[in-house]
Structure 1
Amino acid sequence: MIELTGSTLTLKEMKRILFDKEKIVIAPRSLENVKKSRDVVEGIVREGKTVYGINTGFGKFSDVRIHEKDVNKLQLHLIRSHACGVGEPFPKLVSKAMVVLRLNALLKGVSGVRPCLVERLRDLVNEEIIPVVPSQGSLGASGDLAPLSHLALVLVGEGEVYDGEATKPTAEVYDGRGMAPLELKAKEGLALINGTQAMTAMGVLNYLKADQLMEQCDWIAAMTLESLEGIIDAFHPAIHEARGYPEQMEVAERIRTITKGSKLITRQGEKRVQDAYSLRCIPQVHGASRQSLSYVKEKLEIEMNAATDNPLILDDGATVVSGGNFHGQPIALAMDFMKIAVAELANISERRVERLVNPQLNDLPGFLSPDPGLQSGAMILQYTAASLVSENKTLAHPASVDSIPSSANQEDHVSMGTIGARHAYQIVLNAQKVLAIELICALQALEYRGVDKASKAIQDLHQNARTVVASMEEDRVFARDIDALTGWLERTAFQWELTKNESITN
C-alpha cells in the first residue's frame, strides 16, 4: 500500500501504482485536513459571503453572483459545459495517473471538498475504474479544464470508463459494482478541474519511459561501439572529469564497464586516430540528456504534490484567496526541455545507424546485407530512423512559446503545457523505435565481427535480444522486427550485472 498525504508522493511510488497496480490509502491526518477545509466552504455558503467559484460564475463570469439554492447546480453545469475534450483518449495509464494526482492535490486540505469525494477518487484507482479522457482541448492554464472535466464526469456517474481494455458508460459500471454517483456540492466541481494534473500525469509517464530509455541507449551505443571497433580512449575518466558534469562521467564509466574485456574495442591509433562524434561524444550527448531529465524529475515531483486549484483555503480557513497556481508554465517548460533531450538521443542513435549500414563508413557488408545487391538488408531501416528523427524535430518545437487568450481575455496568457506533454510522449515513442533500429543493426554487425570477441555484457545483451529478433539471413518484413524490439525495450530494464572498471584497459 502507498499512503497519499498530499505532499510526499514520488515518481518511484507512481511507477508502482501505475505499473504494479499497487493500492493506495489516504493518510488519516490528510483526511482531517480535508474535513477542516470543507467546513470553511460550508460556512461561506451559510453566511452568504461572495467567494469566487463557490457562489460566483467562472472566468469572465466571476462577477456574477449565484443564489444559494443554485450553488450545487453550478458545479454540475461547470463540469458538463467544460467537458469539451476531443481527439484520441489519453493512454489508460495517464488517465489513472490523473486520478491519483488529483486526489493527492486535494489531500493537501486547501481545496474545500468533502471527504467522500477524495474517498471516491481513491476507490476509482484501487478498483481500476479509470476515466476515458480525450487528449486534446487543454490550454494548460486555468488548469487542464477540458481533460479534468471528463475525469470529474465519472464522479457524477457520467462519461465513460475503462473496463479492462474496453470502454463502457460509467453508469453501467457503477450499477454492476453497486456504486452510486456523487452529487457535487459547492466548489467541488471547480476543485476537481482547476489543476495541472493532465499535463503532469502525461509528464509522469513520459519521464518513466524516458528514464528507462536513457539506460538502454548506453547499452545499445556500447554494442554499436564494439561492432564498429570503436576507440575506448575517448571514454578515459580523466577526460570527463576535466569537464566536470557528473552525468557525462557516469555515461563514460558505464560504457567502459559494459565494454570491459572486449576484443573488438580498439585504442587510439590502432585502426584510426579518432572516431566520428556519434561514437566519440556518446558521454557528452547522453550525459546532457540525463541532466535534462533530472530537471524534469525535480519539477514533476514538486507538481505532483502541489495545490493547483483556485481559490485556495489557507491559514486554517482564515484566508480564502484567488491566485494562479493552475498555470502550467513550470511543467510546460519541463516538457519542452524533455522533448529536446529525448529527441537528441534519437538523433545521435540514427547517426550511429548510418555508420553501421553505410559501406563507405565501415568495412562491413553494405547495409549489413547477407547478399549485397540481391538483398537490401538494413538499407530502409536507416530510412525509417531518419524519418522518425525528422518528425521528432517538428514535435520538439516548444509548445510553451505560444499563448492564445481565452475567456474574453480574462485568461490572457496560457502555458500550452498539455500540448508539450503530448508531443513529448510521441517523441519518446519515436525514440524507442529508433533505438530498436540501432539495436537490430548493431546485433547484425556484431555477428559479422564475431560475438565471441565482444565483452561479456554485450554478449549477454546479444543473447537476450536474439530471443526477440532473429539474425538477418534473408530479407524479410523488418517492420515486425522493429515492433518486436520496441515492445521488448518497453518491457525490459537493462540490469544485467556489471563489474565496474575504472580504467580504460581492456
Structure 2
Amino acid sequence: MNQIFLDGESVTAEKVAQVAFDRVPVALDETTMERVAACRSRVEELVDTGQVVYGITTGFGKFSDVHISKEDAAQLQTNLIRSHACAVGQPLPIPTVRALMMLRANALAKGYSGIRPETLQLLVDCLNAGVHPVVPEQGSLGASGDLAPLSHLALLLIGEGEAYYEGERLTATDALSRAGLFPIQLQAKEGLALINGTQAMTSIGTLTLVQAQRLAKAADMIAALTTECLRGIPEAFAEEVHRVRPYPEQIGVAKNLRTLLAGSGLTTEQGELRVQDAYSLRCLPQVHGATRQSLAYTADKVSIEINSATDNPLIFLEEGKVISGGNFHGQPMAFAMDFLKIGMSELANISERRTERLVNPALSGLPAFLSHQPGLASGMMILQYVSASLVSENKVLAHPASVDSIPSSANQEDHVSMGTTAARHAAQVVHNAAKVLAIELICAAEAAEFVGADQLAPATRVLYDHLRAVVPPVLEDRSTSAEIEHVAERLLSGDWVDAVEQVTGTLF
C-alpha cells in the first residue's frame, strides 16, 4: 500500500479521505524531521536561558503573566493536557479521529511548533497502528483552537484517557501496549503544540467537504433520472442558455445534465407535453450550480487550512523570532462550514421538491404515491414525509454558528469562532442530505417501473441498476428504513458516482 508523506505543505482533502476511510499509512521524511528537530532545539534554548515566552515559560490564557520555572516546564505541559481534556458528548467517528491525528501531525511537521521528533513520530505511529483516541465531539469554542478535543488526542500520547484498538474500547495504556507502542513524557511546549490548533473543526470539515462533493455529483445524476421519469424538457439545459449567465458551476451542471440525459427515450420537447417544467427541474443548473459555488469556496479554505501552522506561539528559526499570534482562531473555517451547510441544505431542499412531484399524481401523471395497489398500499407516501422532515431539520442546522461568540479565560480570549460547532452541524446537514437524495432516487426508480426503465438514458440506467441491486421494486408495502440508510451510505461513498462516470466520462 502506498503511503502519504506529511510535510506540512502538500496534503489534500482527497489524501485526508484516503487516510481516514481507507487507512492509507502516513510517513515523515528525513527533511521534515530535521526541520522539526531544529525547531525543537530552539525551544530548549529558550527554556535553558529562562526567556519569557508564552506557554513555554509562562502559564496559559489569563495565566500568561505567571512565570514558570525550568524545573516545572514539563509538569506544566502534562497539567495542561489533563485540565483541558474535558470535552463531552458522543465520541467522534473513527474516520474523523484519523483525520484529526493526520492533520495535527501535518501541522507539527511544518516545523514551527517546537515539538520533539519522537513525540511527533509517536502520533504518526499511533495513526498507522490503528490506535485511535476516544475524542468527545462537544466542547470546543474554535479559538484558541480546538483545545478540549485535541487534549483527548494528547492524552493518548502520555498513556492516559481511552482509545479504540482493533474494535475494542480500552484504556490508553492497554491500547498502546497491544500495539507495541509506549507513552512519552511531555516536555516544554509540547502539550501546547499538540492542542493549540484548528484540527478538530478541520478534520470534520474536510471529510464533510469530500462527502458533499460526492453528493453534488450524485444529485445531478438522481435529478436526471427524475427528469426522465417526469418526462422533463432538457432544452432548459441547453448550452446557449447558460452561456449568457456564465457562472462556471451553473455551466458545468448544465453540461452534466445534457450528458446524463443523452440517449433517453423518456424526455420530451417544448410543447410536446408542456411548454416548460417546474423550477425543481428547469432550474437545476442554477440551484445545483450555486451549491457547487459554496463547495468551491469551502474547498479553497480547506486546502489552505490543512497545510497551515495553527498553534501559538510560533517559532521562526530563520528570522530568529518566537511570536505569539492568533493562527488558532477558526473564523475562516467557521465561515466556510456555515457556507457549506447552507449550500447542501438547498441541495436537499430542491431534491425533496422533486420527490414531491414524483409521488403527487396531480403533478406527475403517475399512480398516486407510486403505489402498485393504490389505496390498499401506500407506496412511497411516507418517504416524502421523511424527506420533508430531514429538510426541515437542515434549515435549523443551517443557522450560522460563526455569528456567535462567548468570551472565555477571564476575557483574555474575548472573541471565538464556534467553528467546530459549524463543522459538526455541516456534517449532520450532509448526512441528512444524503438520505433526502436516497429517497428521491428510490422514488425515481419506482417511477421508472411505470414509465419504462428500458427507455432510460445509458447513464441513468447504470444508476437505476445499482439502486435495484439493493432496493427491489416496492410491489407491496414494506419498511424501507434500512434501504434508505444503505443507499445514503452508497451515495456518500461515491461508488455509484464512479460507476456512472465510467459511462459518461468524468463529470463536472
**TM superposition score category, shorter chain reference:** over 0.9
In structure 2, the residue matched to 1:261 is 263
1:456 deviation in Å? Answer: 1.5
Partner SS state of residue 494, structure 1? helix
Separation in structure 2 between the aligned mates of residue 124 and residue 453 of structure 1, nearest angstrom: 53
Report whether the alignment pairs 1:172 with 2:174. yes
What RMSD, in angstroms, separates the aligned Cα atoms of the two structures? 1.4
Instruction: String of CA shifts for 1:38-76, please: whole Å, max 9, x gaps.
Output: 111100111111111001110000000012111100000
Unaligned runs of 5+ in 1: none
- Determine if contact 2:142/2:330 at 8 Å carries over to the other structure: yes
1:493 deviation in Å? Answer: 3.7
Separation in structure 2 between the aligned mates of residue 233 and residue 33 of structure 1, nearest angstrom: 58
In structure 1, the residue matched to 2:87 is 85
User: Out of 281, 284, 290, which is 1:282 matched to?
Assistant: 284
Separation in structure 2 between the aligned mates of residue 341 and residue 87 of structure 1, nearest angstrom: 27
Instruction: String of CA shifts for 1:110-143, please: whole Å, max 9, x gaps.
Output: 1111110111111011111111100000000001
Partner SS state of residue 202, structure 2? helix
- Determine if contact 1:196/1:328 at 8 Å carries over to the other structure: yes
More moved, 17-26 vs 95-104: 17-26
- Determine if contact 1:50/1:65 at 8 Å carries over to the other structure: yes
Distance of aligned partners of 1:501 and 1:208 in 2 relative to their CA distance in 1, 3 Å threshold:
closer
The one-letter amino acid of 1:78's match is L
In structure 1, the residue matched to 2:23 is 21
In structure 2, the residue matched to 1:338 is 340
The one-letter amino acid of 1:219's match is M
The one-letter amino acid of 2:497's match is F
In structure 1, the residue matched to 2:64 is 62
Partner SS state of residue 19, structure 1? helix
1:246 deviation in Å? Answer: 1.3
More moved, 16-25 vs 32-41: 16-25
1:348 deviation in Å? Answer: 0.3
Separation in structure 2 between the aligned mates of residue 284 and residue 205 of structure 1, nearest angstrom: 26
User: Out of 380, 401, 404, which is 1:402 matched to?
Assistant: 404
In structure 1, the residue matched to 2:365 is 363
- Determine if contact 2:463/2:496 at 8 Å carries over to the other structure: no
- Determine if contact 2:198/2:328 at 8 Å carries over to the other structure: yes
Partner SS state of residue 362, structure 2? coil
1:96 deviation in Å? Answer: 0.8
In structure 1, the residue matched to 2:318 is 316
More moved, 247-256 vs 144-153: 247-256
In structure 2, the residue matched to 1:138 is 140
In structure 1, the residue matched to 2:459 is 457
1:263 deviation in Å? Answer: 1.3
Counterpart mapping for 1:466-481 below 5 A: 466-481=468-483
Distance of aligned partners of 1:499 and 1:328 in 2 relative to their CA distance in 1, 3 Å threshold:
closer
- Determine if contact 2:16/2:207 at 8 Å carries over to the other structure: no
> Aligned residue pairs: how many?
502
- Determine if contact 1:145/1:194 at 8 Å carries over to the other structure: yes
User: Out of 113, 122, 125, which is 2:124 matched to?
Assistant: 122
- Determine if contact 2:131/2:176 at 8 Å carries over to the other structure: no
In structure 2, the residue matched to 1:498 is 503
Counterpart mapping for 1:2-81 below 5 A: 2-81=4-83
- Determine if contact 1:364/1:445 at 8 Å carries over to the other structure: yes
Separation in structure 2 between the aligned mates of residue 99 and residue 500 of structure 1, nearest angstrom: 35
Separation in structure 2 between the aligned mates of residue 297 and residue 165 of structure 1, nearest angstrom: 32
User: Identity across aligned pairs (percent)?
Assistant: 56
More moved, 407-416 vs 3-12: 3-12
Partner SS state of residue 497, structure 2? coil
In structure 1, the residue matched to 2:490 is 488
Instruction: String of CA shifts for 1:186-239, please: whole Å, max 9, x gaps.
Output: 000001010000000000110111111111111100000000000111000110
- Runs of 4+ in structure 1 over 6 Å off: none
Separation in structure 2 between the aligned mates of residue 370 and residue 480 of structure 1, nearest angstrom: 21
The one-letter amino acid of 2:161's match is G
Partner SS state of residue 364, structure 2? coil
Separation in structure 2 between the aligned mates of residue 501 and residue 213 of structure 1, nearest angstrom: 15
